[in-house]
Amino acid sequence: MSISIHARTRMQQRGLPPLVMHWLDDFGREIHVPGATIRHFDKRARRRLERAVGREPVRRMHEFLDAYVVYGNDGTLITTGHHYRRIHRH
């Protein structure tokens, strides 16, 4: 996976641990938008994550579970962040 310079900067600024980034890739819900794909944790993704890694690790990392990542169509990580509003499905 290639990571844009912008995404590297945002990961540092927003303090997202690499573990959460891996969890997003493995368990995050994928939403396709024109030109990109967004991955985030919805309720179902959090439940899958809990079943896979256990309740305690998820509880300890709960402050990061509002994270999202955006990938371009070529698979490049474009940006990361924390969402404060609901991400709507289309």
Average pLDDT, the chain: 90
Q: What pLDDT sits at residue 11?
A: 87
pTM score above 0.95: no
What residue type is 7 in one-letter code?
A
Structure confidence by residue, pLDDT tens digits, 44-81: 999 999 999 999 999 999 999 999 999 999 999 999 98
Distance CA 78, CA 59 (A): 28
Give residue limits of the domains in the chain: 5-81
Distance CA 90, CA 84 (A): 18
Burial 16-39 (b: 16+ CB within 10 A, else e): beeebbebbeebbbebeeeeeebb
Q: What pLDDT sits at residue 15?
A: 87
More confident residue, 87 or 44: 44
